Structure 1
Amino acid sequence: MTQFHQLSVHELAQGLTNKDFSSVELTEYFINRIGKYDDTINSFITHDFDHALKNAQTADQLRTKGDTRPLLGVPMAHKDNLCTKGVLTTAGSKILYNFVSPYDATVVENIAKAGFINLGKLNMDEFAMGSDNESSYFGAVHNPWDTARVPGGSSGGSAAAVASGFTPVATGSDTGGSIRQPASFCGVTGIKPTYGRVSRYGMIAYASSLDQAGTFGKSALDCAYLLNPMQGHDVKDATSINRPNDDYVADILAVKTDDKPLAGKKIGVAKAYFGQGLDSDVEKSIRTALATYEELGATIVEVDITDPAITLATYYLLAPAEASSNLSRYDGVRFGYRCEDPKDLMDLYTRSRSEGFGAEVQRRIIMGTYALSAGYFDAYYTKAQKVRRIIMEDFKKAFETCDIIASPTAPTTAYKLGESLDPATIYLGDVYTIGVNLAGLPALSHPVGQANGLPVGLQLIGKHWAESELLKTAHIYQANTDFHEQLPKFANT
């Protein structure tokens, strides 16, 4: 049998077009693979196999009738904070354990229109608050490279599912690194687009000025295939930008990858991203990758970026403040979890929230409420917003001397499940990624090697609306290396 999970989206689309196999065969293959192996990984919260098979049958019939959509019948899966009509949508939380969405998120709708087949909903840190995928009410996700380790978070289920070969591509969301960090930990490629590039309508909010949906795939080209239909202006989302869509797939396929394909490209590297806390073996892989970029014609230049420690402090004031506001709607009254036998309305509110939210979500709500409270608002929240503007200006200034900024995606490789890390130490796992969200910039992570047998990711940061440049640059690297083709032993079975 063809090992469909080892094929790229490009190869799967071509095979369907050439009638080498059907969408039903393809969908059944991934369903069987999930059923056989996901008990070990726990990457899915909800399976939607019946609908998937029906949609695959429809896709095959449409192809027979002349439908030429290239992605018609290709399987994928959604992170469980994207509302999906008629399907359980939990955001990894007990408080939404029984919420079946009555509508589709715009992202879900756009992807379905392109012809993709949804296999189900993927596990995640509760309300996307976490960097290890251990805060999910539905249990921790395991890293397929070492099932005793975390896959990263919050989109750990998406990254682990792609790395395990359960789905060719998957959606994720990124508020402070929640696509890029798990992509690094699981050895896959993940991209967070410019804020406003992809509609947030129907995405369960964590921090509304930071959240952005993106994609996971084995390669930059795989990510481009899923990002193409996701993008676009949406009148239902006031933060969605009205600008022409790019064709990321066509841009990548037009790239020449031989000789010195990156000649003239300047890649900025900041000393601040190579300081204390960066694992020495991770740094070696990153330095080697930068040398490869030089061999491909790029010029490495030094740039100044806001101290990551300042960026981290700013993020952990602003994001919890927005979370405090966004999560106030979960009160046990209208939908979701409700405590038993409340004595009065206040008891209903208090116990429903205390019993429904996990420890990390409660911690961030309390932090955010404190920052927004009278007497502290100006000292904390207002000051953090001013620093956010400085961070944005620092990126803008750095891009005056380079085209792309490169850094480690995470300071370490995946750490062990259940490792007794205090919250502050866990938060440091996002130290290289959060500045991008504060500035609203696009960024991706792609695999560049291993440290002690675990994947290492390199982060590429672009100017606003430069997703195509990031994807093309990563594609050129991947055309000349094979790190993105390396699979965990788990995925070779």
Structure 2
Amino acid sequence: MTDLHRLSIRELSEGLAGSKFSSRELTEHYLKRIEKIDAQVQSYVTVTPEQALAQADAADALRKSGMANVLTGVPVAHKDIFCTQGIKTTAGSKMLDNFISPYDATVVAKGKVAGLVTLGKANMDEFAMGSTSESSYFGATRNPWALDHVPGGSSGGSAAAVAADLAPFATGTDTGGSIRQPASFCGLTGLKPTYGRVSRFGMIAYASSLDQGGPMARSAEDCAYLMNVMAGHDAKDSTSMDQDVDDYVANLNGTSVKGLRIGIPKQYFNVAGLDADVKARVEESLKKLEEMGATLVEIDLNMTDAYVPTYYLIAPAEASSNLQRFDGVRYGYRCENPVDLTDLYKRSRSEGFGPEVQRRILIGTYALSAGYYDAYYVKAQKVRRLIQQDFLKAFESVDVIAAPSAPTTAYRIGANLTPVEMYLGDIYTIAVNLAGLPAINAPVGFDKDNLPVGLQLIGNYWSESQLLSVVHQYQQATDWHTKRAAIAEENA
């Protein structure tokens, strides 16, 4: 079968259960596609054929014994920020180029329990710091829709792998939009869950109060299958919430679009730099939801101007703290022939970290320094609370909030945007992380250059089922999520 990569997760599950194909055949199919296509896309840092085929054979044996789960034998790609036992985990950095994790992240471990087959580790911006996946030590990932464009970041490898049909779905992480923005750039569905919904144990930290793992796939239905695996309390993660977990697949039709109140923040649609095509496609998608029975309600989010400065104080501050462990002593990159301990620290870190990571460490260290801690970091935390309260007030009158996922479509590789220009591109996504809310990207069309555009829906706490359900019903009425880039149509 040459078209296995065109099947949805439900169709893959049913095909495996009905013995139309085996997990080995399915896994071999994806491995062949990776071998043929990924040199052009560079979505993977590490491909693991031997482990994948062993897991596939084990999955087939489970099916024969009648002990299989719904996803047993389905392949997945893991963002290279999740620790994987016995497999290199790099976080896209020279600093961890030689790091073989001795344990699995909880997300990976849950995937193994569910019977998922790990194809490999997806490329990403170094330590998840970036919006283009160009800062990876292993080279820039390319957007399957236009190979001279970026796939977004930091989960760009995960997005590109799914968009090129090199994995049926993938894990990602979102600290300030790193699931939603690449999903938007690559024409995918991507869910950033409520903070604490998915365990962060074994997920290499960027900014601990903002990081959250989530699924990336073609459709809301496909994301729901992976969320059923990823979500849940984990005693190993002190920030993991002991909150009831829904059956996201069963609840896909649980929210009626009829009567759904969708908040339209007027500040979001007057942002300088919002591309006309992006605005038009998002407004068209909202009109479609309105035709399906939703009510559009104009709202105010008055803290919009504070999003970028608040985020770019808090996130670098936490990064500077988290990344101090990479000092060339216990593990990771170590400079050659240090003359003393100070030289070891300085050279290991300056040689091991790339420019963007160094920039954020320096900003964060400055914000946390004795003379500036109260003026910058403490003040940013107070403004963060105001941003959260702004959202909670809005949710008193609406069920979800709509916005673009990004003000533009994908950038060209090597566009050389200044750091400030790059940071301003996160205007629509970072507030969700600051407030700890869930949000989802759905593909809603293309710009004049045939690059994908994404709609973002933001929900109240623990409303992942609602978001997936609304997008699922939108996707039953539209076909944007079924569109494929030319490179994805190539058969192995």
TM-score, L = length of structure 1: 0.98
TM superposition shift of 1:255? 4.8
2:153: which partner in 1? 153
> Structure 1: which 4+ aligned runs deviate by more than 3 Å?
none
Contact 1:75–1:116 (8 Å) recurs in 2: yes
1:201: which partner in 2? 201
Does residue 245 of structure 1 match 2:242? no
TM superposition shift of 1:306? 3.5
Contact 1:130–1:154 (8 Å) recurs in 2: yes
TM superposition shift of 1:68? 3.5
Rounded Cα–Cα distance in structure 2 between residues aligned with 1:295 and 1:4: 34
Rounded Cα–Cα distance in structure 1 between residues aligned with 2:172 and 2:305: 26
Alignment of structure 1 residues 339-358 onto 2, 5 Å:
339-358=335-354
Alignment of structure 1 residues 154-193 onto 2, 5 Å:
154-193=154-193
Does residue 390 of structure 1 match 2:386? yes
Q: Which amino acid aligns with 1:5?
A: H
TM superposition shift of 1:138? 0.3
Contact 1:273–1:407 (8 Å) recurs in 2: yes
Rounded Cα–Cα distance in structure 1 between residues aligned with 2:162 and 2:304: 30
Specify the SS of the correspondent of 2:173: strand
Gaps in structure 1 of 5+ consecutive residues: none
Alignment of structure 1 residues 268-279 onto 2, 5 Å:
268-275=263-270, 276-279=272-275
Does residue 267 of structure 1 match 2:256? no
Contact 1:272–1:307 (8 Å) recurs in 2: no
Rounded Cα–Cα distance in structure 2 between residues aligned with 1:82 and 1:471: 24
% same residue: 61
1:472: which partner in 2? 469
Rounded Cα–Cα distance in structure 1 between residues aligned with 2:114 and 2:302: 40
Contact 2:303–2:387 (8 Å) recurs in 1: no
Rounded Cα–Cα distance in structure 1 between residues aligned with 2:260 and 2:305: 29
Rounded Cα–Cα distance in structure 2 between residues aligned with 1:308 and 1:43: 33
TM superposition shift of 1:287? 0.5
2:328: which partner in 1? 332
Does residue 137 of structure 1 match 2:137? yes
Contact 1:72–1:114 (8 Å) recurs in 2: yes
Per-residue deviation, residues 8-40 of structure 1 (Å, max 9, x unmatched): 001000100111111011000000000000000
Rounded Cα–Cα distance in structure 2 between residues aligned with 1:345 and 1:264: 64
TM superposition shift of 1:120? 0.5
RMSD over equivalenced CA pairs, Å: 0.8
Contact 2:303–2:386 (8 Å) recurs in 1: no
Contact 1:173–1:212 (8 Å) recurs in 2: yes
2:414: which partner in 1? 418
Does residue 117 of structure 1 match 2:117? yes
Per-residue deviation, residues 93-114 of structure 1 (Å, max 9, x unmatched): 0000000000000110011101
Specify the SS of the correspondent of 2:251: helix
Gaps in structure 2 of 5+ consecutive residues: none
TM superposition shift of 1:58? 1.0
Specify the SS of the correspondent of 2:383: helix
Rounded Cα–Cα distance in structure 1 between residues aligned with 2:291 and 2:211: 35
Contact 2:190–2:217 (8 Å) recurs in 1: yes
Rounded Cα–Cα distance in structure 1 between residues aligned with 2:97 and 2:274: 38
Does residue 490 of structure 1 match 2:483? no
Specify the SS of the correspondent of 2:235: coil
Per-residue deviation, residues 300-349 of structure 1 (Å, max 9, x unmatched): 00111144331111000000000000000000000010001100000000
1:311: which partner in 2? 307
Contact 1:409–1:458 (8 Å) recurs in 2: yes
Specify the SS of the correspondent of 2:267: helix
TM superposition shift of 1:383? 0.4
TM superposition shift of 1:78? 0.2
Contact 2:303–2:390 (8 Å) recurs in 1: no
Q: Which amino acid aligns with 1:269?
A: I
Which of 432, 437, 442 lines up with 1:441 in the alignment?
A: 437
Rounded Cα–Cα distance in structure 1 between residues aligned with 2:409 and 2:304: 19
TM-score, L = length of structure 2: 0.98
2:17: which partner in 1? 17
Per-residue deviation, residues 206-244 of structure 1 (Å, max 9, x unmatched): 000000000100000000101101111111110000111
Alignment of structure 1 residues 279-318 onto 2, 5 Å:
279-318=275-314
Rounded Cα–Cα distance in structure 2 between residues aligned with 1:66 and 1:413: 46
TM superposition shift of 1:367? 0.2
Rounded Cα–Cα distance in structure 2 between residues aligned with 1:191 and 1:36: 29
Rounded Cα–Cα distance in structure 2 between residues aligned with 1:470 and 1:282: 21
Q: Which amino acid aligns with 2:190?
A: G
Rounded Cα–Cα distance in structure 2 between residues aligned with 1:438 and 1:307: 12
TM superposition shift of 1:2? 3.7
Alignment of structure 1 residues 2-81 onto 2, 5 Å:
2-81=2-81
Rounded Cα–Cα distance in structure 1 between residues aligned with 2:365 and 2:316: 8
- Number of positions where the alignment pairs a residue of Structure 1 with one of Structure 2: 488
